Amino acid sequence: QVQLVESGGGLVQAGGSLRLSCAPSGSVFAVNAMGWYRQAPGKQRELVATITAGGSTNYADSVKGRFTISRDNAKNTVSLQMNSLKPEDTAVYYCNADLWRVGRPWDNYWGQGTQVTVSS
């Protein structure tokens, strides 16, 4: 069964950078939109960035100009380059993707999350 696995989280100082990556752990037939979401303590999970199969991107206003989402269609991976990190970026970051597993129609999948902590 396909699962999404995130990596790259950690602890950084304000102004620093991190790069998150996400990939399916099983084989897939096709991948459509992919994205990153985050959930800070006491807050609702929110969209951070999305990217279509063709590479069109969308960002939350709070991260626009600082974060860059990208994908490698050959590897079915999605990454999030996070620069100029702020303490308010501290959250658990979740990968999300619309996948078509072999023999199964489109479905939406989530990763288990990776912690990003930005110190002041």
If pLDDT is split at 50, 70 and 90, which confidence band does 3 have? confident
Per-residue pLDDT reduced to its tens digit, 7-26:
999 999 999 999 999 999 98
Q: pLDDT, tens digit, for every residue of 55-110?
A: 999 999 999 999 999 999 989 999 999 999 999 999 999 999 999 988 888 999 99
Quote the pLDDT of residue 1.
64
**Residue 6 pLDDT:** 96
Q: What gap in Å lies between CA 118 and CA 18, rounded to an integer?
A: 10
Q: Model confidence over 33-45: pLDDT tens digits?
A: 999 999 999 999 9
For residues 28 and 102, is the Cβ–Cβ distance under 8 A?
Answer: yes
